Amino acid sequence: MKAKATRILGALGMTLALAATPFTATANSLSGAYLAANQANRENDYDAAARYYTQALARDPNSPFLLQNTLLTYVAKGDVKRSTAIARKIANGPLGSQLADLVLLSDAIKEEDYSKAAEILQKGEQRFSPLLFELLSGWVELGQGQITATVKRFDSMTSPKAMQLFGQYHKALALAVVGDFETADKILQGGEDGNLRINRGSLIAHAEILTQLDRSDEALELLNKTLRGTTDPSLLYLRDKIAKDGVVDYDFITNAREGAAEVFFTLSSVLNGEENDRYSLIYARLAEYLRPGYSEAVLLTAEILKDQKQYDLATKTYASLSPDDPMFVNAELGRADALEAAEKFDASIEVLQNLARGHGDIPRVHMSLGDVFRGLERYEEASKAYTRAIELIPEPTKNHWFLFYARGITNERIGNWEQAEADFKKALELSPDQPLVLNYYGYSLVEKHQRLEEAQKMIEKAVAARPTDGYITDSLGWIFYTLGKYDQAVGPMERAVELVPLDPVISDHLGDVYWKVGRKREAKFQWRRALSFKPEEKDAVRIRRKLEVGLDQVLKEEAAKDGN
């Protein structure tokens, strides 16, 4: 469905095209602000872009380009309320824009001025995609007390299939708002294809509706079937609440404003991952604006910002969820991840350690802490964190293979090979033939010159499973080299360099293989190439020595040093 998402949902084409257009300065006093704003905009630095566009707009207040871009950056950074004045000016101008209409429409809905919202929709209908127009119109009609018109509109959405699914989902939500839980349940039950599931929200809504119909057992069955051992905080919270109280309030969507927020959130979710993720960000921001504290929208917004490398904005967004929100742990894990990506490692560790103190019974918290420590090569601390996570899982399942694999790496790095090997074996027990484990385990055996034939079989399996992984292919070439099968090593090593052309270790390995098969000029070329990729200093020293005296002499020197 995502492949067709932009076509089905429509786009903020005019606004985003303008946002990517370099401006030509109209006066020397504007040039600095123009250039700075455009550069920040290209880098998705919405805070800086908004600041510079505002400065430029103060000097040229009627520029359509500046108005459009200033509006975009304010919405993208989450300051929708402040953007309404700019949107109003655009809407009253000669061009107008879909984004300006959306901002003004959202503001009218937020103020529960549904007559004004209907007027904006009708005036800007040609600028909206049919899906967006119909869904928002349905909720605006509900805000005006016209439930019959709302149902009729959602029912009119019949083609294509995606339109029908969205229409029926929002019809069920609208009926639940007015208390018609029986009809809402029938819609969400779906037809021959099973339950109508647009997103996890449709599951939450359905479970709450079932309890209103005194069918709590069915609600619990529905949630348990979906969870299947996973730890989705919102679903677990709802399941436990239903198990305790039997009936829970229907509070998923309770009014037209929240319904409109769900429209924006739904479309943002569908568009997330598309080539131009600004569409998704804008819709998520509007969902947040209409429904402050809506945790799903907050997390989606933060995820998009993190993907755009806007780590400060992402961190700020994650931090907006309150500690009593069921999704608070997810938000803190996301915040720690954003801080790590921004290379604020101490801050990331602090977030996770605080989380471990308050939510220490959640394995994922300790696993995330272990991942940060492992990335920093603080293997002792990483191993302890992974161990704590494992202790919290009484019966590991297939999904937990990575946890044992990660701890195996840390144990191998600190010299605890016996425990590392046990971890690798456990990971393979949980997920047989897992290529990452086979490769690391096999390569470790090669480095230790242990059970080399067994190691070769492991790595061959890994390559068969992931033939385009250059690092695994390198492992296969290197084990042939270690076994003295130099002619067999050439093919995999050359393939590895093709797959990962800028890796110093792989190029160095290919040089060694070439040397052993008599291709010494090519060997030296690969060693020089490896040096150009800035390897670790100890590796660089060894490569320079090979260039000076050749591989055979280096191996003799190393053997003499080791006493062999």
Cα 530 from Cα 551, distance rounded (Å)? 15
In a domain, 401, yes or no: yes
**Does 369 reside within a domain?**
yes
| Domain of 393, in residue numbers | 345-426
Give, in degrees to the nearest 5, the angle at Cα 127 between 125 and 131.
70
CA distance 267 to 247: 30
Q: How far apart are CA 173 and CA 33, in angstroms?
A: 46
Is residue 309 situated within a structural domain?
A: no
| 3-state DSSP assignment of residue 238 | helix
- Rounded distance, CA 170 to CA 183, Å? 12
pLDDT of 187 higher than 70: yes
Q: Which residue has the tokens 């191996």?
A: 555
The rounded Cα 519 to chain-centroid distance in angstroms is 45
pLDDT in tens, 191-215: 665 567 777 888 999 999 999 999 9
CATH number of the domain to which 361 belongs? 1.25.40.10
Which pTM was predicted? 0.84
pLDDT at 30: 64
For residues 4 and 478, give the distance between their C-alpha atoms in angstroms, rounded to a whole number.
44
Tokens at 9, concatenated: 């949902």
Q: Please give the structure tokens belonging to residue 320.
A: 């907006």
Q: What percent of the chain is predicted at pLDDT more than 70?
A: 92
Q: Residue 346: CB partners within 8 Å, gap ≥ 6?
A: none
Which distant-in-sequence residues (6+ apart) come within 8 Å of 23 by Cβ? 34, 38, 65, 66
Is residue 409 a part of any domain in this protein?
A: yes
CA angle centred on 451, ends 555 and 435, rounded to 5°: 100
Residues 6+ apart with CB under 8 A from 424: 404, 405, 408, 437, 440, 441, 444
- Quick check: is 191 in a domain? no
> Given this model, what pLDDT does residue 194 score?
55
Alpha-helix residue ranges (DSSP H) falling in 60-97: 64-76, 80-91
Number of H helices, E strands in the chain: 33, 0
Please report whether residue 43 resides in a domain.
no
Q: Which of 199-203, 307-311, 325-329, 412-416 shows the lowest mean pLDDT across its residues?
A: 199-203
Domain annotation covers residue 395: yes
- What is the model's pLDDT at position 193? 57
| pLDDT of 402 above 60 | yes
**Nearest of 465, 417, 414, 419 to residue 439 by alpha carbon:** 465
Average pLDDT over residues 335-355: 97
Would you call 362 helix, strand, or coil by DSSP? Answer: coil
Within 8 A by CB and 6+ apart from 421, the residues are 408, 441
What is the distance between the alpha carbons of residues 460 and 479, in angstroms, rounded to a whole number?
10
Round to whole Å and give the CA distance between 387 and 404: 9
Buried b (16+ CB within 10 A) or exposed e, 10-24: bbbeebbebbeeebe
Residue 86 tokens, joined: 């700019």
Distance CA 101, CA 454 (A): 65
Q: What is the pLDDT of residue 21?
A: 43
Q: Give me the residues paired with residue 194 across strands.
A: 191
Residue 2 pLDDT level (bands cut at 50, 70, 90)? very low
In a domain, 356, yes or no: yes
Question: Percent helix, strand and coil across the chain, each rounded to 5?
Answer: 75, 0, 25
Residue 229 has a pLDDT of 63
The number of distinct structural domains making up the chain is 1
pLDDT digits (tens, 9 = 90+) for 136-152: 999 999 999 999 999 99
pLDDT of residue 16 exceeding 70, the answer is no
Per-residue pLDDT tens digits for 451-509: 988 999 999 999 999 999 999 999 999 999 998 999 999 999 999 999 999 999 999 99
Q: Which residue in the block uniquely carries the two structure tokens 């840390």?
A: 410
Radius of gyration over alpha carbons of the chain, in Å?
29
